[in-house]
Amino acid sequence: MAKRILIIVHQEHSSPGRVGELLVERGYSFDRRCPNLFDPLPDDLSGYAAAIVFGGPQSANDDDRPAIRLELRWLERVALASEVPLLGICLGAQMMARVLGARVGRHPENLVEIGYHPIFPTAAGEAYFDGPTMFYQWHKETFEIPAGAVHLAHNDAFDAQMFRYGDHAFGIEFHPEMTRAMIARWTGSERGAPMLDLPGGQPREAQLEGYQRYAEASDRWLARFLDEHFLQAHDSGSEDRAGECA
């Protein structure tokens, strides 16, 4: 089995964080691509164990950005059409949802989620969670659950927190990859700091305290998700099938 994972990021200094660290512990290496820096995306994923599309400051609706248009086409024609495990995180999940025909946009009351917020499994998602879990969030936009996908997690403010499409593709709105250093950088940046005052944002110190309180449970979820679901997705078989790629 291939031990290389394709990771797609959206800024020069973006980090895969805890997702990357846990995958390295499991013996994987990375092929890192940033389309916004003109990196090409592979037409064939057969040499990869998985592909992960991370978040970023862009919107899945940024049709004026050539790199976003490239990713949307790639997700539709290559990644979702393959049998290679695919994970979209935040922007990555929003782009997946869009190419699957779902709406992506702002909350009707212009709420955001920035900081630690609870996630609740749906009935179909109970196999993926031990129960309600606090995860880090950083998003102004959200997605609807695509037709043919399985809705796995929600909360009161943003119903679409996680979905599975087919046997191999997962989209999550929350950020299990966060480290304390990443939270400190995001909340202290020129772009990020003003967002903390938006409705649904949390103060910087509350977010750093939240990391101390919730990071261990987030890591447990991430390790279980990688080992029991994501990295095994292409072998899950027809019993777990729910929605086929077009």
| Confidence (pTM) | 0.93
> Packing angle between helix 91-99 and helix 66-74, nearest 10 degrees?
60
Asked if residue 221 belongs to a domain, the reply is: yes
For residue 11, the domain's CATH number is 3.40.50.880
Asked if residue 77 belongs to a domain, the reply is: yes
pLDDT in tens, 139-184: 999 999 999 999 999 999 999 999 999 999 999 999 999 999 999 9
Asked if residue 188 belongs to a domain, the reply is: yes
How confident is the model at residue 2, as a pLDDT? 74
Asked if residue 184 belongs to a domain, the reply is: yes
Chain center to CA of 117: 15
User: CA of 203: how far to CAs of 62, 118, 183, 185, 209, in Å?
Assistant: 28, 17, 11, 14, 10
Residue 158 to residue 146: CA distance in whole angstroms: 15
Asked if residue 114 belongs to a domain, the reply is: yes
Asked if residue 143 belongs to a domain, the reply is: yes
Residue 49 to residue 117: CA distance in whole angstroms: 31
Asked if residue 246 belongs to a domain, the reply is: no
* Average pLDDT over all residues of the chain: 93
Structural domain that includes position 158: 4-239
Structural domains of the chain, count? 1
240: pLDDT confidence band, cut at 50, 70 and 90?
very low
